[in-house]
Amino acid sequence: MKFEAVIGLEIHTQLATESKIFSGAATRYGAEANTQACLVDLGYPGVLPVLNREAVLMAIRFGLATHCRIAERSVFARKNYFYPDLPKGYQISQYELPVVHGGYIDILCEDAVKRIGITRAHLEEDAGKSLHEDFQGMSGIDLNRAGTPLLEIVSEPDMRSAAEAGAYMRTIHTLVRYLGISDGNMQEGSYRCDANVSIRPRGATELGTRTELKNLNSFRFVEKAIEIEIDRQIDVVQSGGTVVQETRLYDSDRDETRSMRGKEEAEDYRYFPDPDLLPVMIDSALVEEQRAALPELPAEKRERFMSEYGLSAYDADILTASRALADYYEDCVGHSRAKPKLAANWVIGDLTAALNRAGLEIGESRVGAAELATLLERIDSGTISGKIAKDVFEAVWNGEGGVDEIIERRGLEQISDSASLEALVDEVVAANPAQVQQYRDGKTQVLGFFVGQVMKASQGRANPRQVNEILRAKLGG
Amino acid sequence: MKHCLERIGRFDGALNAFVSVTEDRALAQAAEADRRIAAGDATTLTGVPIAHKDIFCTAGVRTSCGSRMLDNFIAPYDATVVERLDAAGAIMLGKTNMDEFAMGSSNETSFYGAVLNPWDHDTVPGGSSGGSAAAVAARLVPGATGTDTGGSIRQPAALSGITGLKPTYGRVSRYGMIAFASSLDQAGTLTRTAEDAALLLEAMAGFDSRDSTSLDEPVPAYSQAIEEPLEALTIGVPENFFDEGLDAGNAAAVTAALGELQKHGATLKRIRLDNVHLSVPAYYVVAPAEASSNLSRFDGVRYGYRSPEAMNDDLNAFYKRNRGEGFGAEVRRRILIGAWVLSTGYYDAYYLKAQKVRQLISSDFARAFDEVDIVAGPTTPTPAFGLGQKTGDPVQMYLNDIYTIGANLAGLPAMSVPCGFSGGLPVGLQLIGPHLSEARLLQTAHHFQRATDWHARVPPGYD
pLDDT tens string B38-83: 999 888 899 999 999 999 999 999 999 999 999 999 999 999 999 9
Which residues of A fall within a CB distance of 8 Å from B181? Answer: 275
Q: What is the pLDDT of residue A463?
A: 85
CA–CA separation, B369 and A337 (whole Å): 78
Name the residue among A89, A277, A278 with its Cβ closest to that of B296. A89
Which residues on neighbouring strands pair with residue B415, listed in sequence order? B165, B431
Q: Would you call A276 and B212 a contact, using CB atoms and an 8 Å cutoff?
A: yes
Average pLDDT over all residues of chain A: 92
Average pLDDT over all residues of chain B: 96
Which residues of A fall within a CB distance of 8 Å from B351? Answer: 272
pLDDT band at A229 (very low <50, low <70, confident <90, very high): very high
Query: What radius of gyration, in Å, describes the C-alpha atoms of chain B?
Result: 21
Q: Would you call B302 and A90 a contact, using CB atoms and an 8 Å cutoff?
A: no
Q: Which of A308-322, A451-465, B196-210 has the lowest mean pLDDT?
A: A451-465
Listed in sequence order, the residues at least 6 apart from A357 whose beta carbon sits closer than 8 Å to its beta carbon are: none
Q: Which residue has the higher pLDDT, A261 or B262?
A: B262
Kindly report the CATH number that applies to the domain delimited by A418-476. 1.10.10.410
| Percentage, residues of chain B above pLDDT 90 | 92
Best of A21, A47, A139, A271 to substitute, by most chain B Cβ atoms within 10 angstroms, is A47
Handedness of CA A92, A93, A98, A100 (dihedral sign): positive
pLDDT band at A270 (very low <50, low <70, confident <90, very high): very high
Instruction: Tell me which residues of B are annotated as active site.
Output: 53, 128, 152
Cα A150 from chain centroid (whole Å): 19
Q: Which residues of A touch B (CB under 8 A)?
A: 39, 42-51, 78, 80, 82, 84, 87-90, 138, 141, 268, 270-272, 275-278
pLDDT band at A477 (very low <50, low <70, confident <90, very high): low
In the predicted model, is pLDDT for residue B276 greater than 70? yes
Contact B275, B361 (CB under 8 A): yes
Q: Would you call A47 and B75 a contact, using CB atoms and an 8 Å cutoff?
A: no
What architecture does CATH give domain B2-275+359-456?
Answer: Alpha-Beta Complex (3.90)
Query: What radius of gyration, in Å, describes the C-alpha atoms of chain A?
Result: 30
Q: What is the pLDDT of residue A223?
A: 95
Q: Would you call B211 and A46 a contact, using CB atoms and an 8 Å cutoff?
A: no
Q: Would you call A43 and B302 a contact, using CB atoms and an 8 Å cutoff?
A: yes
Q: Would you call B213 and A268 a contact, using CB atoms and an 8 Å cutoff?
A: no
- Tell me the shortest Cα–Cα distance from B338 to chain A, in angstroms: 10
pLDDT band at B463 (very low <50, low <70, confident <90, very high): confident
Which residues of B fall within a CB distance of 8 Å from A268? Answer: 343-344
Contact B274, B241 (CB under 8 A): no
Name the residue among B79, B211, B344 with its Cβ closest to that of A268. B344
Cis (ω within 30 of 0) for the bond into B209? no
Q: What is the pLDDT of residue A47?
A: 98
Q: Which residue has the higher pLDDT, A103 or A418?
A: A103
In the predicted model, is pLDDT for residue A304 greater than 80? yes
Which residues of B fall within a CB distance of 8 Å from A278? Answer: 212-213
Phi-psi region of A32 (alpha: psi -120 to 50; beta: other; left: phi over 0): beta
Average pLDDT over residues A71-75: 98
Average pLDDT over residues B147-154: 98
Note the ipTM here: 0.96
Let me know if A474 is exposed, middle or buried by CB neighbors in 10 A (0-12, 13-18, 19+): middle
Q: Which residue has the higher pLDDT, A117 or A457?
A: A117
E-only strand ranges, B55-120:
91-96
Q: What is the pLDDT of residue A126?
A: 96
CA–CA separation, B261 and B230 (whole Å): 10
Average pLDDT over residues A377-405: 91
Q: What is the pLDDT of residue A301?
A: 95
Q: Would you call A278 and B77 a contact, using CB atoms and an 8 Å cutoff?
A: no
Q: What is the pLDDT of residue A384?
A: 87
The residue in chain A having the minimum alpha-carbon distance to the alpha carbon of residue B77 is A39
Q: What is the pLDDT of residue A6?
A: 97
In the predicted model, is pLDDT for residue A263 greater than 80? no
Which residues of B fall within a CB distance of 8 Å from A49? Answer: 212
Q: What is the dihedral of CA A229, A234, A239, A243, to 10 degrees?
A: 60
Best of A272, A277, A280 to substitute, by most chain B Cβ atoms within 10 angstroms, is A272
CA–CA separation, B116 and B231 (whole Å): 39
* ∠ Cα A390 A392 A395 (to 5°): 110
Q: Which of A104-118, A443-457, B163-177 has the lowest mean pLDDT?
A: A443-457
Average pLDDT over residues A31-56: 95
Reference B347, options B297, B292, B279, B395; nearest CA is B292
Best of B299, B331, B351 to substitute, by most chain A Cβ atoms within 10 angstroms, is B299
Q: Would you call A45 and B297 a contact, using CB atoms and an 8 Å cutoff?
A: yes
CA–CA separation, A28 and A261 (whole Å): 33
pLDDT band at A462 (very low <50, low <70, confident <90, very high): confident
Name the residue among A46, A138, A141 with its Cβ closest to that of B57. A46
- Tell me the shortest Cα–Cα distance from B172 to chain A, in angstroms: 14
Best of B58, B342, B356 to substitute, by most chain A Cβ atoms within 10 angstroms, is B342
CA–CA separation, A99 and B30 (whole Å): 51
Listed in sequence order, the residues at least 6 apart from B52 whose beta carbon sits closer than 8 Å to its beta carbon are: B58, B81, B82, B85, B92, B94, B95, B96, B144, B145
First to last CA, chain B: 17
Which residues of B fall within a CB distance of 8 Å from A45? Answer: 57, 63, 65, 70, 73, 75, 178-179, 297-298, 303
| Percentage, residues of chain B above pLDDT 70 | 100
Q: Would you call B176 and A39 a contact, using CB atoms and an 8 Å cutoff?
A: no
Q: Would you call B293 and A82 a contact, using CB atoms and an 8 Å cutoff?
A: no
Helix%, strand%, coil% for chain B, nearest 5: 45, 15, 40
**How many cross-chain Cβ pairs, A to B, lie less than 8 Å apart?**
101
Residue-range domain boundaries for chain A: 3-289, 296-409, 418-476
Q: Would you call B339 and A270 a contact, using CB atoms and an 8 Å cutoff?
A: yes
Q: Would you call B290 and A141 a contact, using CB atoms and an 8 Å cutoff?
A: no
In the predicted model, is pLDDT for residue B231 greater than 90? no
For A13-23, write each residue's pLDDT tens digit. Answer: 999 999 999 99
Residue-range domain boundaries for chain B: 2-275+359-456
Q: What is the pLDDT of residue A474?
A: 85
In the predicted model, is pLDDT for residue A137 greater than 80? no
Name the residue among B77, B212, B302 with its Cβ closest to that of A50. B212
Listed in sequence order, the residues at least 6 apart from A132 whose beta carbon sits closer than 8 Å to its beta carbon are: A139, A140
How many other C-beta atoms lie within 10 A of the C-beta of residue B345?
Answer: 7
Q: What is the pLDDT of residue B387?
A: 97
For B76-120, write each residue's pLDDT tens digit. Answer: 999 999 999 999 999 999 999 999 999 999 999 999 999 999 999
For A409-422, write each residue's pLDDT tens digit. Answer: 888 888 888 888 88
